[in-house]
Amino acid sequence: MIKDVPEALKQIGPSFKLEPFATVIQPIIQDVLAEHKKDKYRKGTLLTPLLMVWLVLTLTLRRDMNYHKTLNWLVSGLRWLYLDLPAKLLKDGAISHARVKLGSGVFQGIFYKFVLSFTLIIPDFYGLITVIFDGTDMTMPDTKSNRDKFGKPKSRSGSGAFPQMRVVALMVMSARLIFDVAYAPFSGKKTGERTLMFKILEKIKRKGLLFLFDAGFYSFFSCLVYGR
């Protein structure tokens, strides 16, 4: 019976995967980590880059749990083999530190490589693939970097409590697949939904798409401009 956390995680860290997503995403994760030169790690590291990527992705699925509980859920299968693993595997701050060190570029690379894997999408409207633009606002953690980059929305009493980000996504309607995402500060010049939409349109090379917009995008104007 293994009672030591580093020894237990060392066995699963280098090859950890989460089914049923691993078949498609695991090779992409490994390729992107290698491209960003993040696939190597110091001997004895508890949170290997591969395990850390899966932990961050899992946090979007298990939003009902904090960092430590999510990690515990990921490695819960170990507990029937190594019964003496503690409930809290790591010290406070260890996961946040590893997440910052891994960086956001790795996850951007994973996203765009994953989009490239959408090779077979069946047209759903007279030979065209229906795609939808939609926007939303997100509240960001109140850190200095987020305040500097995104700012806080103004209110009657001064400003909001948290920085906010505006996001526009392009999604395949039939398959619920996100093709691309653009984001900007919640307020300021060139940060509106229509501006972000055009950032996505400039990168779209795929033919045979039927674009849908809601009223907030001023669809008639947008189609005229893009048609030119």
> In this prediction, what percent of the chain has a pLDDT beyond 90?
12
Residue 96: name the closest of 67, 135, 123 by CA: 67
pLDDT in tens, 118-140: 778 888 888 899 999 988 888 88
Predicted confidence (pLDDT) at residue 32 exceeds the cutoff of 90: yes
Question: What mean pLDDT, rounded, does the chain reach?
Answer: 80
Delimit the domains of the chain by residue range.
Answer: 5-112, 119-227
**Euclidean distance between CA atoms 23 and 17, whole angstroms:** 9
- Provide the CA 105 distance to its chain's centre, in angstroms: 10
Worst-scoring range by mean pLDDT, 41-55, 82-96, 97-111? 82-96
Type and span of the H or E element at 203: none
* Site of tokens 């996850």: 107
Q: pLDDT digits over 59-77, tens only?
A: 888 888 888 888 888 877 6
